[in-house]
Amino acid sequence: MPRGRLRIYLGAAPGVGKTYDMLSEGQRRAGRGTDVVIAFMEDYGRPLTRLMADGLETVPRKTMPYRGTSFTEMDLAAVLARHPQLALVDELAHTNVPGCRNTKRWQDVQELLDAGIDVISTVNIQHLESLNDVVEQITGVRQHETVPDDVVRSADQIELVDMSAEALRRRMAHGNIYPPEKIDAALAHFFRAGNLTALREIALLWAADRVEEALLRYRKDHGIQQPWGARERVLVALSGGPEGETLIRRAKRTASRGAGGEFLAVHVARDDGLAGPSARLLARQRTLAESLGGTWHTLNGDDPAQTVLAFAREVDATQIVIGATRRSRLKSLFARGTGEAIIEGSGDEIDVYVVTHSEAAHGRLLHRRAGDARDARS
């Protein structure tokens, strides 16, 4: 039996409308003849959300006693027995009451998928496990219910449900999210404009990374070798020489010129047994790169230029930053250096910046594109 497909509505914050959108998609598919059931849905008393559920079959919840109180949970066994084509399951990060078949609702969803049932679910960005600490720093609220990032990343489709901070605060003030007695406290604390803006940015960046993963997979599956410059990605190639810090700072400035730009620091450790650079110097350069928001990558290869170029294409780099050669003119007459090999092999799609530094034998900042040797001032 083929595994079911998972679609997740990822909310930038509570109240943006992810449950409403889940139900709307369920109505659309039911209207096309798909067998749809509501396996679990929380409307929080919101009339528009409740209205969107009208006409959809709901699998009754099961009641679970716990510490003298009764709770209602999704009846996983009943949903599996009903075996619809599509199950709508709200609140993916929810923790089930002790005594349920699974500890977490996302584990219930995995069982539905394993049974060949398609699932549409919802989760807010603050419930992703990897973001727990940063969300607490921003909002002052620790999220006790989380879902592993890999569970969300593995979804076949992720749709971001977003709203500006001002619009969301208006929804709150008009009573469309919380009941009247909770509105003032919510607006003064979790729903402050700064909090909502920060959560929105986190959600947009997380979703952008997920889209990029899908893009890289698409290129790999279709054998597309040349990078697609959807956003600026600067790779700085470091030999381990003293010029490394200059190159790292240049790469950071270059990446910062474009929205969403990033930079990657790369050092190639040779496999041929030749003496390598100072470990202390490399450690210092790694610390600098990471402190500026870059990522550090140590690669292995006998041909540094080809190793750098292969990695640049793998990660969709749009630019490579290298240092001007430290070799003497005499040595350059007899052998081609790594920098020259990177420039010649970069093709039409990757720009190469050659940055001068005090340790260089000669040269100035060059901006090279394949087949085009034009100089540019920094």
pLDDT for residue 367 is more than 50: no
69-73 and 36-40 strand pairing = unpaired
Pairwise CA distance, residues 18 & 201, whole Å: 17
- Packing angle of the helix pair 304-314, 338-345 (nearest 10 deg): 40
Q: What is the pLDDT of residues 235-284, one digit of tens each?
A: 999 988 888 999 999 999 888 876 567 899 999 987 765 556 788 899 99
Percent of the chain topping pLDDT 70: 83
Q: Is 264 left (phi over 0), alpha (psi -120 to 50) or beta?
A: beta
CB–CB of 92/121 below 8 Å? yes
Residues in the chain, total: 378
Kindly report, residue by residue over 304-355, the tens digit of the pLDDT: 999 999 999 888 888 999 988 755 443 443 345 788 889 988 887 789 999 8
Which helix (H) or strand (E) segment holds residue 303: the answer is none
Rounded CA gap, 299 and 271, in Å? 10
Taking the mean position of all CA atoms in its chain, how far away is CA 6? Answer: 18
pLDDT of residue 41: 96
Judge contact between 329 and 363, C-beta under 8 A: no
Concatenated DSSP letters of 9-52: EEESSTTSSHHHHHHHHHHHHHHTT--EEEEE---TT-HHHHHH
Q: Is the pTM of this model over 0.85?
A: no
Contact 22, 122 (CB under 8 A): yes
Helix (H, G, I), strand (E, B) or coil at 266: strand
All domains in the chain, ordered by first residue: 6-221 (3.40.50.300), 233-375 (3.40.50.620)
Give the residue, 116 or 65, on which the prediction is more confident.
116
- Per-residue tokens: 137: 């720093």
Give the phi and the psi of residue 253 in degrees, each rounded to 5. -65, -40
DSSP string, 77-139: HHHHHH--SEEEE--TTPBPPTTSSSSBHHHHHHHHHHTT-EEEEEEEGGGBGGGHHHHHHHH
Measured between alpha carbons, how far is 2 from 114 in angstroms, rounded to an integer?
Answer: 8
CB 54 within 8 A of CB 87: no
Name the strand (E) or helix (H) holding 191: none
Mean pLDDT, to the nearest integer, of 109-138? 94
* pLDDT band for position 225 (cuts 50, 70, 90): low
Edge-to-edge strands of the sheet including 372-375?
A: 295-300, 262-269, 233-238, 319-323, 351-355, 366-369, 372-375
Cα-to-chain-centroid distance, residue 191: 24
Task: State the pairing for strand pair 366-369/372-375.
Answer: antiparallel
